Structure 1
Amino acid sequence: MATKRLLVLGGNGYVGQNICHVALQSTSNYLVRGLSRSGPPSTTPNHITPSMDKVEWIKGDIFDKSAREDALDGVDVVISCIGAFGSNEFMQRICGDATIEAIASAKAKGVQKFGFVSSAQVYEGSAGLSFPPSVPMHGYFQGKYRAEQELSKAFPDGYVIARPGFIYGPRTTPMGVLPLQMIGSPVSFLGTELGPLSSLIQSVPFVGKECSSMVPVESLGRAMVES
């Protein structure tokens, strides 16, 4: 099988690390490259640490065109899992503009496929989001929505979009490991496996969508890599 090069944008983050790990473990024969502002991750869960040493880490700003283009050299597939929290203006830029600029550069470089980790709160076919701009997370969801729209136009025959809710699994922080699966797994069960009760939970605005769309971080990584 021919070797393919995968570029993970935001590769040193929680989701990005797992995508890199899954790609290196897959049978698709990937060479994995990660682009982020700080280079390699400072902390990783023990079970994926060996994989991080096999990633080609590139330190660069996604908004720096030359850094983007250098990172895209020879790349066949791109997966963007860029995201951050802050003011609505900041989230529009990081969750939307960053990936939108990467999409344009990837298309110009002849990338074959582009994957994007979006959000369960982005609705198919909507003209926008149901949340008013006054809602604190509006910029996050609207940014993701805008990136989805640009991706579907730029790569009509070669894109993958995942819309997870809460993503759970071991997450390392400077304070230690956060076992997010201890929260995510039981709440996911409540939101999907208990018949009428789950239906009731799913009917609650925002909360219902998150509870019915929770996903283990490794499953998300596998879906992005294998799609």
Structure 2
Amino acid sequence: MSATTKRIVVFGGNGFLGSRICRAAVARNWDVTSVSRSGNPRWDTITSSATPPPWSHHVAWERADIFRPAQWTSLVHGADYVVHTLGILLEADYKGVISGRESPLSGLSRAFNPAKGAHSPNPLERVRNEGAPEPGVEPPSSPAQLTYEMMNRDSAILLAKEAAREGVKAFGFVSAAAGAPVLPSRYITTKREAEAVVAREFPDMRGLFFRPPFMYDQSRTATMALAAFATAGSAVNGLTRGVLGGFLGAAVAKPLKADVVADAVVEALADETVKGPVEVRRLEELANRAWRKTML
């Protein structure tokens, strides 16, 4: 590897968006590492084929639990960029629902329970004030414990803390454009809390908070129909000067193809002038800029 080669570590790199960020980074000849609990992707769940694409052989697919830093801190050492793409849409234990261990109503009631988010939005503050163990050292023992606070917020802050300690130049956090009526409010508030804490606690590390809308790809046929609905809603929202956006949120934001968001993430990381929240329009601009570079 050349001394000038950039090194990126993508947490959740075997997922729908994370794998595409890895692909975009490989296209730039960066040194790419993916970190996830399962390691290698199940390609049939994130692409249209079960066969690994050629670029995937240029990625180090590592296995580690985000809530056990000792498993992955060595992977972050020497990285230029670290990206957090982990998160959950609903807290319901899907396996429990399917197997009959939990009813769909109880799963949803847990997700919409506001009491879960009552503690401090900053796990680092809890450590300082209460002398508690560092957040995330004890991983959840079951899917029922995977809360918005843990996955959408605390895991990102934990990763940012270690990245800053290792002198990482830029930290990318995949947040969201907005919430939606079908999601608990804690889905978006925990992401915004993560953004605020990372920006405040680690000012010497360039923080980029990507706020994509609904993402789609032809390899996931269900996303195409939802994208068509969101596109229509976005058009109507534009004609009504944003009236629908006030209560439908991301449901009427213009959807973007997952590859577009991935290209934008990598382009933003490479541009030292980009920092802070990166909204939908800016994502499109960055992706277009990245595409033009490939045409030169």
What TM-score do you get using the length of structure 1 for normalisation? 0.80
Give the fraction of aligned pairs with identical amino acids, expressed as a percent. 26
Q: Supply the distance in 1 between the matched residues of 2:75 and 2:10 (Cα, whole angstroms).
A: 10
Q: CA deviation at 1:199?
A: 3.7
Q: 1:157 to 1:169 in 2, by over 3 A?
A: same
Is the contact between residue 168 and residue 205 of structure 2 (CA under 8 Å) also seen in structure 1? no
Matched, 1:168 2:216: yes
Q: 1:35 to 1:10 in 2, by over 3 A?
A: same
Match of 1:39 in 2: 39
Match of 1:19 in 2: 21
Q: 1:209 to 1:179 in 2, by over 3 A?
A: closer
Tell me the SS of whatever aligns to 1:14. coil
Unmatched segments (≥5 aa) in structure 1: 123-129, 172-176
The aligned length equals 208
Q: Supply the distance in 1 between the matched residues of 2:186 and 2:233 (Cα, whole angstroms).
A: 29
Task: For residues 37-72 of structure 1, give each alpha carbon's deviation from its aligned partner in whole angstroms, at most 9, with x where no partner exists.
Answer: 110111242587222222111100001111231220
Is the contact between residue 37 and residue 61 of structure 1 (CA under 8 Å) also seen in structure 2? yes
Task: For residues 108-135 of structure 1, give each alpha carbon's deviation from its aligned partner in whole angstroms, at most 9, with x where no partner exists.
Answer: 000000111101127xxxxxxx99xxx8
Q: Which is bigger in relative contact order (C-alpha 8 A, separation at least 6)? A: 1
Match of 1:180 in 2: 223
Task: For residues 170-200 of structure 1, give each alpha carbon's deviation from its aligned partner in whole angstroms, at most 9, with x where no partner exists.
Answer: 34xxxxx435234314632541478525744
Match of 1:116 in 2: 173
Is the contact between residue 92 and residue 142 of structure 1 (CA under 8 Å) also seen in structure 2? no
Which of these residues, 93, 100, 105, is aligned with residue 157 of structure 2?
A: 100
Match of 1:144 in 2: 191
Q: 1:198 to 1:187 in 2, by over 3 A?
A: farther
Tell me the SS of whatever aligns to 2:38. coil
Q: Which has the higher helix share?
A: 2
Match of 2:77 in 1: 73
Which of these residues, 42, 62, 68, is aligned with residue 64 of structure 1?
A: 68
Tell me the SS of whatever aligns to 1:180. helix
Q: 1:225 to 1:197 in 2, by over 3 A?
A: same
Q: Supply the distance in 1 between the matched residues of 2:27 and 2:32 (Cα, whole angstroms).
A: 11
**Aligned letter for 1:119?**
A
Answer with 1 or 2: which has the greater Rg. 2
Task: For residues 122-169 of structure 1, give each alpha carbon's deviation from its aligned partner in whole angstroms, at most 9, with x where no partner exists.
Answer: 7xxxxxxx99xxx85233222211210122121456121111221111
Q: Supply the distance in 1 between the matched residues of 2:78 and 2:218 (Cα, whole angstroms).
A: 32
Q: Supply the distance in 1 between the matched residues of 2:26 and 2:224 (Cα, whole angstroms).
A: 23
Alpha-carbon RMSD across the aligned residues, in angstroms, is 2.7
Unmatched segments (≥5 aa) in structure 2: 92-109, 117-146, 269-296
Q: Supply the distance in 1 between the matched residues of 2:256 and 2:211 (Cα, whole angstroms).
A: 10
Is the contact between residue 177 and residue 212 of structure 2 (CA under 8 Å) also seen in structure 1? yes
Is the contact between residue 68 and residue 105 of structure 1 (CA under 8 Å) also seen in structure 2? no
Q: Which has the higher strand share?
A: 1
Q: Supply the distance in 2 between the matched residues of 1:156 and 1:149 (Cα, whole angstroms).
A: 14
Q: 1:157 to 1:193 in 2, by over 3 A?
A: farther
